[in-house]
Amino acid sequence: MNSRHVPASLTLHTDSPPATQRIGVAIGRAVAAGQVIALCGDLGAGKTTLVQGIAAGMGVHARVTSPTFILMNEYATEDGRRLVHIDAYRLAERATLADAATFGLADLLAEAGMDGVNVVAIEWADRVAALLPADLLTITLVASEDDPEARILQLTATGAQSAAVIEQLLTSGALADLPESTGTPRKM
């Protein structure tokens, strides 16, 4: 158990899709292999936009698109890691876990921390919550009531690896141009 204080949550505000992508780039630069990112938010909240930024920050040069109809896309990075982008939206509500088993989601998540290669980003992660690991970076995106382009992103870390991502975001200066950033320290 680490006794130093590390941020467990961070709230960010953006004013446009490019600003949301910039946050994604910063996250992509901060994540290590084995990281699982759970993305939550309504349709159109900006989950895929954020993943596009994460991919760019990781060094992915391919065009990143939503895997809504194919469930999963994989992208190679410059340093040999792999971004696995999953969209659980189309999984049947009642049979979600059984559907997830058909493409090996549980195995993929179990291997994420052990293989030293994968970073996994899951849109609509709440649909497969029972399969998610204990160390998880959850990012909830909410559209602003005042501005249709603006978003509020709530990042929550539930483990040391995920908390390290938030800590790096706060200390790297990558968020300096955002309107507001608030982090909450908590012992991990």
Q: 11-37 burial, b if ≥16 CB within 10 A, otherwise e?
A: ebbbeeeebbbbbbbbbbbbbebbbbb
Angle at 14 between CA 142 and CA 165, to 5 degrees: 85
Tokens of 110: 């179990």
Q: Is the dihedral of CA 124, 130, 131, 133 positive or negative?
A: positive
Q: Residue 161: name the closest of 129, 120, 106 by CA.
A: 120
C-beta of residue 132 within 8 angstroms of C-beta of residue 112: no
Distance CA 44, CA 101 (A): 27
C-beta of residue 121 within 8 angstroms of C-beta of residue 19: no
- Contact residues for 156 (Cβ-Cβ < 8 A; gap 6+): 8, 9, 137, 138, 139, 140
The CATH class that applies to domain 7-187 reads: alpha beta
Distance CA 122, CA 69 (A): 14
Q: For the whole model, what pTM was predicted? A: 0.83
Sequential pLDDT tens for the chain (188 residues): 444 444 489 999 999 999 999 999 999 999 998 899 999 999 889 999 999 999 999 999 988 887 665 577 889 988 888 899 988 876 655 445 555 555 566 666 666 655 567 899 999 888 888 888 889 999 999 998 889 899 999 999 999 999 999 999 998 888 877 665 555 444 33
pLDDT given at position 23: 95
pLDDT given at position 154: 96
Phi, psi of 88 (to 5 degrees): -90, 5
Distance CA 22, CA 52 (A): 9
For the chain, first and last CA: distance in Å? Answer: 7
